Chain A
């Protein structure tokens, strides 16, 4: 009996508590339903290219919920990539704005219909523009982290990307610059490792056993976690954030996750038979009596209805005007004799 009690106390799921886990679950479902709708939109001509992060919900929602959210160097900066919808939903972002970006309507708040879906840019939460370029976010993260070293704050810079991108120089730049003895940088360096760069298996391209092994060279804290597991992800993120906030130094965190619909439209965006973090999480919560099956079904249904409603709303919204291409070319007005004809 005593053993059973201590085992229950050691259970990370019980440690995190029912309320938090139910909240994480609700947002994970929202993220999945959103991504599946985006895929449908892409395939039905209600948008173009799809790229997103179904399969990363366990890790990403756990991250989004722990961000110190706000604007300016005294809050966390987020240098995300294109699989980050669940992070933004974890922060409290609305689903409708992502649908707006998918449909390229004028009211897309992140890019005015200019960029792919899941390419966020949101100053009020320090989400700097997500770029389709691979891995450049690991270079720009250096700058916001320097800004955070110049003020008294516990805020940090968080960067995430995929395993394929770690072959780029930007990843190395981030490791070198954040470990400079002259000025260490508080950056949580996250790598989501799903084993693939589009169709190319990491197995044939990367000799590192773990991507987190790069941390050994710099004698920095680094670890690899099961990103499909909510409790392990949440607690690992918590530990890494605490380290960066206190020590003003970097932490390398590798999360191994599924990639449930492949890379993007470019690989078909079809469901792949891999571990599903939501199904696994629901089973774990059910086992512990934290949620009933009827409640789970209700949450899925509610989210479907919310997405339906948002999608219907976005279908009524106008597309950008051709003239809007000239907005924001420069801060301030377009110079008077700037060429605008596109040739003769």
Chain B
């Protein structure tokens, strides 16, 4: 049973063997470390780059133009801002060239809070990412989705920004990747590098199979008839846990829509759920001003106003200049389970 970092690694291995991925690179991506979260450990085509996000992004775009399908990493999304020009170029390459230069590349980068990362290891990037028009943006919340979205991203002819929720990279889930051993210890012994000297180590890859999560397709993590929570990434398992607990207490049926793709987002799934429940909370961890959830909320008002039973809501991060290192400060800045529970209960309780 893979955790999310292992699932990404398995997907990249599948990509190397079956989808023509020949360049996987970034800071500390190659041996000996295999990524600061180990998502690229043991991969035969993974290599270390200079500490230069702009160069990484430029290399990826040039490789994509040359017909390769590179997978590059920016070590933390907090450090992606100095590559923003080139992210924009990747996004507008096809449009700017009148349809002549597609840019099939994957940029993966850990996003969000939850690892006590203070100001520069806790950023979310959703609002900026979703304004790089022409680029697809995905963000998984489970290992199986991480695997399926990575294969879909590699196959896509568009640039794909693959956001990895930092706090979930060690999380597991009961859904198995086709071909992976169910025993997590067995998998670990096969594909995790040993502590110490790794120079002679080679992974023993399980025979994983193709499994695709279509980009643009949401997942209904839990069905419910009374309220809808639209979320993704790190907030998705929190929303699911809250929804299950509320159901156990017979306090209401909460439907959790894990959008998985931010661009394009599955508006049909969102709309269908809101039409059913008439109550909706948009939930994410980025700060509230000019938040991606605000866009979904505005579209809800435009298209579903008369089908809403109560006002639609957004629960997001506090608009402070950063996230403090102290757990007290971090918890006060980013929605925690208790905040989600409170917001969902308020949503259920408001008279129609």
Contacts and interface: CB of A to CB of B under 8 A. Distances in A.
Interface of A: 72-73, 77, 79, 108-112, 114-115, 119, 121-123, 128-129, 131, 133, 136, 138-148, 150, 157, 169-170, 173-174, 176-177, 180, 182, 327-332, 335-339, 344
Q: What 4 A-B pairs come out closest when comparing CB atoms?
A: A143-B62, A139-B58, A147-B66, A335-B264
Interface string B304-329: 00000000000000000000000000
A148 B94 CA distance: 22
B67 interface: yes
Contact of A182 (B23, B47, B158): B47
Given A121-B100, A142-B59, A143-B58, A136 B85 contact: yes
B26 interface: no
Contacts of B22: 150
Contacts, number: 154
A79 B82 CA distance: 21
A169 B53 CA distance: 10
5 contacts: A119-B96, A128-B65, A169-B54, A335-B216, A335-B264
Nearest to B156: A331
A69 to B, nearest CB: 16
A334 to B, nearest CB: 9
A147 B65 CA distance: 10
A170 B54 contact: yes
Contacts of A77: 62, 65-66
Nearest to B57: A139
A176 B66 contact: no
B202 to A, nearest CB: 20
A327 to B, nearest CB: 6
A115 B96 contact: yes
A336 B267 CA distance: 9
B94 A131 contact: no
Q: Contact size class for B?
A: 35 or more
Contact of B63 (A119, A147, A329): A147
B101 interface: yes
Contact of B62 (A111, A119, A123, A141): A141
Contacts of B59: 139-140, 142-143, 146, 177
B99 A327 contact: yes
B133 interface: yes
B161 interface: no
B292 to A, nearest CB: 12
B197 interface: no
Contact of A140 (B61, B216, B264): B61
Contacts of A330: 94, 134, 136, 158
B97 A121 contact: yes
Interface in B99-147: 99-102, 104, 133-134, 136
A180 B48 CA distance: 11
Contacts of B350: none
A234 to B, nearest CB: 27
Contact of B55 (A110, A177, A328): A177
A297 B92 CA distance: 44
Contacts of B66: 72-73, 77, 143-144, 147-148
Nearest to B99: A328
A47 B13 CA distance: 51
Given A128-B65, A143-B64, A337 B268 contact: yes
A290 B244 CA distance: 88
Of A73, A123, A337, the most chain B CB neighbours within 10 A belong to: A337
A339 B300 CA distance: 12
Nearest to B261: A335
Contact of A331 (B62, B67, B102): B102
Nearest to A79: B62
B50 interface: yes
B89 A136 contact: yes
B68 interface: yes
A110 B97 contact: yes
B60 interface: yes
Contact of B133 (A110, A115, A122, A329): A329
Given A121-B98, A123-B100, A140-B61, A72 B50 contact: no
A180 B134 contact: no
Nearest to B266: A337
A136 B94 CA distance: 16
B23 A146 contact: yes
Given A173-B55, A176-B55, A131 B267 contact: no
B54 A112 contact: no
